[in-house]
Copies of this chain bind each other. A is one copy, B any other.
Amino acid sequence: MSYRVKSYAAQSSSSPLAPFQFERRSPRADDVVIEILYCGVCHSDVHNVRNDWGNANYPMVPGHEIIGRVIATGAAVTRFKEGDHVGVGCLVASCQRCDACDHGHEQYCQNGATYTYNHNDPIDGTRTFGGYSEKIVVAEDFVLKVPNTLDLAGAAPLLCAGITTYSPLRHWKVGKSSKVAIVGLGGLGHMGLKLAKAMGAEVTLFSRSPGKEDDARRLGADHIVISTDVKQMAAVAGRFDLIINTVPCKHDVNPYIPTLASGGTMVMVGYLGPLDNFNTGPLVFRRKALAGSLIGGIAETQEMLDFCGRHGIHSDIERIAIQDINQAFERMLKADVKYRFVIDMNTLKESI
């Protein structure tokens, strides 16, 4: 039996999200059928819906920060049963035989991972549709367990914003002696502050504008540096082992490089695109690096959820009804959200 589900979808790059119905596949032997309870609204949802990256395929149901409840399982599923609270992030499949998959880096699958929406299922070729929807059907290897201690709505953004900052913090071995800076206080940035602090690091927020001090400190920042203030920037020269740059748009990254310690790395997790006049000189003179990082692997995402469960870490969210999604997109583009919209998918029952 396949599932006819309600959802919200974009029909073109200029159309707002609107009610849409389609069929979810019948569960294959290794599939889990999930009733979606909450779905976070990621900045990349706007980019995808508006075809900013040139690869949009309509109709498109966005959403890859999914929290739900298992309502059915395929015959071969062993790790989940009806009633379990589960999460689904940005990935729903990968080849699981390449070197990257062997190392648990499904997000870097050499044969191409399958994204939760705007992609094609590798087995039957059908389109993938995301979490702004009643239900989703996902292979159990790509379903995450949600610790009992987590609030379900606040956990949704962990599936993308959380793992996107957790993965570089772990890869670059952040711990008690680390000095970490986060550039930008948005969906990703506020998770970066919380996670780095919970790992024991001394944490600094770089922000362009004053006024975020109280929030930043509450979220885990030990220090706030106004990045447009030359004196404040000079005062932290050579300070940071790792900078996670969450700014989602083109900006001058050169001023941050001198604040790295020798051997330090700035990791881009927000902006994908060309930089103007990025200067290699400061990299050479202190063996520094500019790197990138993309979400995380499945095992690492589970590790992150468990870490958040132990440390009581959620996203700071604003709950919305699905009917408010288009306004939420507009507000998100103005950075008018603290710090992540999460759709209460129960409100979808009122649609259509």
Residues of A within 8 A of B (CB): 99-100, 105, 108, 110, 171, 238, 262-263, 265, 268-269, 271-294
Interface of A is mostly: mixed
Nearest chain B residue, comparing its CB with the CB of A272:
B281
Nearest chain B residue, comparing its CB with the CB of A110:
B238
Contact yes or no, B277 A283, CB < 8 A = no
Bound-state CA distance A100–B287 (Å) is: 11
Q: For A265, list chain B residues within 8 Å (CB).
A: 289, 291
Q: Which residue of the partner chain, among B108, B275, B287, B289, contacts A262 with CB atoms under 8 Å? A: B108
Copies of the protein in its oligomer: 2
Contact yes or no, A268 B294, CB < 8 A = no
Q: Which residue of the partner chain, among B110, B279, B293, contacts A284 with CB atoms under 8 Å? A: B293
Q: Can you name 29 A-B residue pairings with CB atoms under 8 Å?
A: A99-B262, A100-B262, A108-B262, A108-B286, A110-B238, A110-B262, A265-B289, A268-B280, A269-B284, A272-B280, A272-B281, A272-B284, A273-B280, A273-B281, A275-B275, A275-B278, A275-B279, A275-B280, A280-B292, A282-B292, A283-B290, A283-B291, A286-B292, A287-B292, A287-B294, A288-B291, A288-B292, A289-B291, A290-B291
Listed from nearest, the 3 A-B pairs whose CB atoms lie closest are A283-B292, A284-B292, A289-B291
Q: For A269, list chain B residues within 8 Å (CB).
A: 284
Contact yes or no, A271 B262, CB < 8 A = no
Bound-state CA distance A262–B107 (Å) is: 10
Nearest chain B residue, comparing its CB with the CB of A257:
B292
Given contacts A238-B110, A262-B105, contact A284 B280 (CB under 8 A): no
A134 CB, nearest partner CB in chain B, Å: 31
Given contacts A278-B278, A280-B275, contact A290 B289 (CB under 8 A): yes
Bound-state CA distance A72–B285 (Å) is: 34
Q: For A271, list chain B residues within 8 Å (CB).
A: 280
Contact yes or no, A274 B284, CB < 8 A = no
Q: Which residue of the partner chain, among B108, B273, B274, B280, contacts A290 with CB atoms under 8 Å? A: B280
Contact yes or no, A290 B287, CB < 8 A = no
A191 CB, nearest partner CB in chain B, Å: 17
